[in-house]
Structure 1
Amino acid sequence: MRVSRFFAVGVAAAMAVALAACSSSGSSPSETDSGASGEDYPITIEHALGTTTLTEKPERVATVNWANHEVPLALGVVPVGMAAANFGDDDGDGLLPWVKEKLDELGAETPVLFDETDGIDFEAVADTDPDVILAAYSGLTQEDYDTLSEIAPVVAYPEGAWATSWRDVITFNSRGMGMEAEGEQLIASIEQEIDDAIGEYPQLDGKATMFLTHVDPSDLSEVSFYTSHDTRSAFFEDLGLSTPKSVADASAANDEFSGSVSAEQVDVFDDVDIIVTYGDEELIALLEGDPLLSQMPAVKNGAIVALDGSGPLGTAANPTPLAISWVLKDYVALLAAAADKIQ
């Protein structure tokens, strides 16, 4: 499948205007400083791991953990250092394709790539001499945050680790760059792209969709799924889909990003119209052949979207500022094809 790539032209043009014309705007409820962007300093940002104050606009931006670098890149700023992609990287260069395309568009060389295979490389981060470290979408521990804060001010996640919505990733990271207004423009641009894409597929409207976690073909005794706390599942709402009551109830019962039920209780998911998961046609055949899982309406109807979990398409199903536009048309088309099979 050739994945659509229409972000580069549309948003680049929009952001060029935004960078030239946008002025200050009001702060979000999570931020305590009344200034917005530009020269309104100090800027104070409250987040789950503390309070960060910036006394002047950062010039050298570093990012750690997954996808945070996509915010400065989308706003035309090349980080001095960022985390190397540790999955979904189809050519082994440490860059996901939408990131590589954006760097090429900006005429920029690849920044320093931090190897986070064994955790954050604090020494490598320090060597880039950053003015701010962005980590609004991350799994930072308090110890990580405290160590990074000795290097530069750190913008951490607003509530929970790995639970930051793509909008808040943009809001908090752009705020940390002193570019809140530009971040708002970016959010509006992506929202418009989403509206345009789903407008072509009215059959998606309200379809109850769940995201199964990686299915173990050797053990189908449990059905594991991402709760609504996970950004992959939360993104369904952006696409005009709905959260099944079964998943919503399980999400309300705990704060975890995933949950599971015994396959013997699979009838709890009778309210699921569409299933998205990682796998291929072989996995779909396995689900359809299982005496218990085959009873799920979505499986009976073949309303399943199977994504390559190790490739760019599956990776992009976790919505991030640049990945959304890169994958949007193809992802929505796959969901619509599944919706067409609902009986």
Structure 2
Amino acid sequence: MFRTLLAAALLALGLAAPTAAREITHVMGVTEVPDAPQRVVILTNEGTEALLHLGVVPVGAAQSWDGDPWYDHIAGPLADTVPLGTESGINLEILAALEPDLIIGNKVRQEKIYDQLSAIAPTVYAEDLSGDWQKNYQFYADVLGLHEQGAANLAAFNTRAAAIGASLGDSINETISLVRFSPGRTRIYYKDTFAGVILDKVGLKRPAPQDRQEFAEEVQKERIPDMDGDRIFYFSADADPEEAVANLAEWTNDPLWLNLEGVKAGKAQRVSELVWNTGGGIYCAHMMLDELAAIYGVDPQAVTD
């Protein structure tokens, strides 16, 4: 079945591919991509947000981590987009049947299927996820021939983040701790994370144990003191399954947690897992700025996008 669909997709691509093309250098090599791709497939959540923000609606996309199949804030424009399975479980048969003229993926998630994807359509990969969302956004813009628009959109975001930071007054000197609680794995998030990059753009600092240009570290309860900060932002599963609720309660009722200065000051706050972590794209980045502005009581539209 897959071979039949793949052959059909390749035939259609050969008949309909634009004659104009550009060479794109990416983590997997050099690929010729069409100048004006019409049927784009994107294989990461943050990439889906980037494409929509750039005005490109993909014909197929990796489904949202939570959603049926899309996050609520992007479901509207994706009404006709075909879900392709999760980032780590792409359905190649469905993808091939879409006859894309460009596939955009990520080495972290789809390295093993690069050759199969490349046999369907020109395929390019971003290298990493974690804190690379802005780098990836510009990469997607470049691949789509929208370099200037991508650069302008990122500049607008960074200007907005800096403006919110400037409106914080003395609060800009607070240190911010990031923690994720999930059953079986609790992690302290460092600077090379989606939320960590945004805090840096705002100008907020991290506590000394978290001032590391790394992603995250799994910890046990004896490391709870390293979770302290002037403010502590923590996230857990938004859907609140029973196991996640019990796990969160276990950690946040531990005596070491209750003794943290940020907790005793009433400045430990649960925030959205989607917005601060799993969404990972530019819409969620702006939503995180909205949440930060609300928490600090400043105007979220000091600078708009």
Name the CA shift for 1:80/1:284 in 2 (closer, same or farther; >3 Å): closer
**Paired positions, count:** 270
Q: Does 1:79 align with 2:64?
A: no
Q: 1:79: how far off?
A: 1.1
Name the CA shift for 1:230/1:151 in 2 (closer, same or farther; >3 Å): same
Name the CA shift for 1:235/1:198 in 2 (closer, same or farther; >3 Å): same
Q: How big is the alpha-carbon RMSD for the aligned residues of Structure 1 and Structure 2?
A: 3.1
Q: Does 1:168 align with 2:125?
A: no
Structure-2 residue corresponding to 1:213: 180
Picking from 256, 261, 267, the partner of 1:303 is 267
Contact 1:98–1:326 at 8 Å: present in 2 too? no
Structure-1 residue corresponding to 2:207: 244
Q: Structure 1: 5+ residue runs without aligned partners? A: 1-38, 308-312, 338-343
Larger % of helix: which?
A: 2
Structure-2 residue corresponding to 1:111: 81
Q: 1:143: how far off?
A: 1.4
Cα deviation code 1:61-105 (max 9, x no counterpart): 111122212222112221111122131x3xx3x22222135x2xx
Q: Does 1:186 align with 2:186?
A: no
TM-score (ref. length: structure 2): 0.75
Contact 2:104–2:124 at 8 Å: present in 1 too? yes
Q: 1:139: how far off?
A: 3.1
Q: Structure 2: 5+ residue runs without aligned partners? A: 1-18, 298-305
Contact 1:78–1:111 at 8 Å: present in 2 too? yes
Structure-2 residue corresponding to 1:315: 274
Hey, what's the Cα distance between the residues in 1 that align with 2:115 and 2:38? 22
What residue identity is the alignment partner of 2:289? L
Structure-2 residue corresponding to 1:35: none
TM-score (ref. length: structure 1): 0.68
SS at match of 1:59: coil
Hey, what's the Cα distance between the residues in 2 that align with 1:293 and 1:242? 21
Q: Does 1:120 align with 2:120?
A: no
Contact 1:60–1:130 at 8 Å: present in 2 too? yes
Contact 1:284–1:304 at 8 Å: present in 2 too? no
Q: Does 1:131 align with 2:101?
A: yes
- Same amino acid, percent of matched pairs: 21
Contact 1:82–1:113 at 8 Å: present in 2 too? yes
Picking from 182, 185, 195, the partner of 1:232 is 195
What residue identity is the alignment partner of 2:74? V
Name the CA shift for 1:265/1:116 in 2 (closer, same or farther; >3 Å): closer
Contact 1:61–1:177 at 8 Å: present in 2 too? no
Hey, what's the Cα distance between the residues in 1 that align with 2:198 and 2:222? 28
Hey, what's the Cα distance between the residues in 1 that align with 2:283 and 2:226? 35
Cα deviation code 1:193-243 (max 9, x no counterpart): 323434432244142212111255xx8xx9631232322223211222113
Contact 1:135–1:155 at 8 Å: present in 2 too? yes
What residue identity is the alignment partner of 1:292? L
Q: 1:192: how far off?
A: 2.8
Hey, what's the Cα distance between the residues in 2 that align with 1:269 and 1:214? 12
Hey, what's the Cα distance between the residues in 2 that align with 1:300 and 1:140? 40
Picking from 258, 264, 270, the partner of 2:216 is 258
Cα deviation code 1:272-328 (max 9, x no counterpart): 222111259998876564222223222222211202xxxxx4301134122222443
Structure-2 residue corresponding to 1:46: 26
Hey, what's the Cα distance between the residues in 1 that align with 2:264 and 2:146? 49
Name the CA shift for 1:142/1:166 in 2 (closer, same or farther; >3 Å): closer
Q: 1:40: how far off?
A: 9.2
Name the CA shift for 1:283/1:208 in 2 (closer, same or farther; >3 Å): farther
Cα deviation code 1:255-278 (max 9, x no counterpart): xx32134433444455x2221112
Q: Does 1:142 align with 2:121?
A: no
Hey, what's the Cα distance between the residues in 2 that align with 1:305 and 1:267? 16
Hey, what's the Cα distance between the residues in 1 that align with 2:125 and 2:235? 29
Contact 1:227–1:258 at 8 Å: present in 2 too? yes
